[in-house]
């Protein structure tokens, strides 16, 4: 599900790039990066962290 959403977002960004809309493309990349780093990677569990979210792993480590 998540990867399909990323694929659709990337297709949209590439369409903007083909149209020469550099501002729209940069904003789109920023939004996609912000979502992945700001929400998705913080909420999903990671096997390397013992199947905890990064926030849970930080709390248990301190």
Amino acid 1: pLDDT: 62
Q: Rounded mean pLDDT of 50-62?
A: 88
Domain that holds residue 50: 2-61
- Which positions ≥6 away from 16 have C-beta within 8 Å? 24, 25, 28
Amino acid 51: pLDDT: 92
Longest dimension (CA), the chain: 49
Statement: the pTM of the whole predicted model exceeds 0.85: no
Amino acid 2: pLDDT: 67
Residue bearing tokens 């599900």:
1
- Total domains present in the chain: 1
Contact predicate 30/22, CB 8 Å: no
Q: What's the CA angle centered on 43, arms 4 and 41, to 5 degrees?
A: 65
Tens digit of pLDDT for each residue in 1-55? 667 777 777 777 677 666 666 666 667 777 778 877 877 777 788 888 899 988 8
């Amino acid at each position: 599900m998540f990867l399909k959403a990323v694929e659709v977002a990337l297709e949209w960004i590439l369409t903007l790039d083909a149209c020469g809309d550099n501002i729209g493309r940069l904003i789109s990349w920023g939004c996609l990066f912000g979502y992945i780093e700001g929400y998705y990677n913080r909420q999903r569990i990671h096997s390397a962290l013992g199947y905890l979210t990064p926030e849970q792993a930080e709390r248990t480590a301190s």
